[in-house]
Amino acid sequence: MVAEGATRGSEGPDRHADGHARPRIGVLGGTFDPPHVGHVAAAAAARDELGLDRVLLVVANDPWQKSPSRSITPAEDRFALVEAAVSGLEGVEASRLELDRGGPSYSIDTVEALRAGVLGEPADVVLIVGADLVATLPTWERAAELAKLATLAVVARPGSPDVRRASGWHVLTVDGPSLDVSSSELRERLVHGEDVEGLVPDPVMRCIRARHLYAVGR
């Protein structure tokens, strides 16, 4: 007997009232300025290791924790780059949820929308973060509530601690390839005309050139 709506039974994942399991959607949110092989590898590893139905790379409209301290590439350019990054990658998609919502990008709003069925049916959400972000979680908007509405999947990142727990969260770990690459480093390299071979997927590099981003081609 299943109660109205979804319930978490001892038998496994949340279920709809008709008994079928809710899809499990991974959310890798970020500024993606620009997206790189570390993002793609993290998404693919989470998809495979956790058996997620879909992984969304959710492009922040206004990354409120970063925007006061540096200029951010326009959101539509970053979205185009993320679309290029995931082209041909099964089960991994670029998501406009935060762009279309507008305003500052809070993960709690995205998680609530997915749980409420914004993609067609109510979903369980796995919030995928690099290990560098775990220490910042308490500063996120409505953090305690967020911890109750999503499972946290932590992806290893070079130079970041090996995280196995986070206060208030149900934590899963993803043993991704742990690639030593960041958007900050890439912006630096691109602006100085340095080689980024192997760090940025080819379709992303083509999109950067076509849109003249990061002073490339100037």
Q: Least CB distance from residue 130 to ligand ATP, whole Å? A: 2
Give the separation between CA 143 and CA 151, rounded to whole angstroms.
13
Residues touching ligand ATP, count (CB under 6 A) = 19
φ, ψ dihedrals at 131, nearest 5°: -60, -25
Min separation Cβ 22 and ligand ATP, Å: 23
Closest separation between CB of residue 160 and ligand ATP, Å? 8
Residue 181 interacting with ligand ATP (CB under 6 A)? yes
The yes or no reply on residue 183 touching ligand ATP (CB under 6 A) is yes
Q: Which are the contacts of 73, defined by CB distance < 8 A and separation ≥ 6?
A: 33, 34, 213, 214
The reply on whether position 184 binds ligand ATP by CB under 6 A is yes
Tell me if 129 contacts ligand ATP by CB under 6 A: yes
CA 54 – CA 27 distance, rounded (Å):
9
Task: Confirm if 111 and 122 have CB atoms less than 8 A apart.
Answer: no
- Residues numbered 6 to 35 that lie near ligand ATP (CB under 6 A) are 28, 30-33
The backbone torsions φ and ψ at residue 149, rounded to the nearest 5 degrees and listed phi first, read: -100, -10
Q: Does 111 bind ligand ATP (CB under 6 A)?
A: no
Q: Which of 45, 14, 11 is nearest to 28 (CA)?
A: 45
Interaction between residue 62 and ligand ATP (CB under 6 A) = no
Cβ of 54: how many Cβ atoms within 10 Å? 17
Query: Measured between alpha carbons, how far is 180 from 94 in angstroms, rounded to an integer?
Result: 22
Looking at residue 36, the DSSP 8-state letter turns out to be -
Cβ proximity to ligand ATP, 61 vs 183, nearer residue? 183
Told to check if 199 binds ligand ATP by CB under 6 A, we report no
Binding flag, residue 201, ligand ATP (CB under 6 A): no
Among 49, 53, 132, 141, indicate the residue that binds ligand ATP (CB under 6 A). 132
CA distance 76 to 8: 38
Judged by CB under 6 A, the residue of 123, 130, 137, 213 near ligand ATP is: 130
CB of residue 17 to ligand ATP, shortest distance in Å: 34
Which residues are near ligand ATP by CB under 6 A?
Answer: 28, 30-33, 38-39, 42, 129-130, 132-133, 155, 157, 179, 181-184
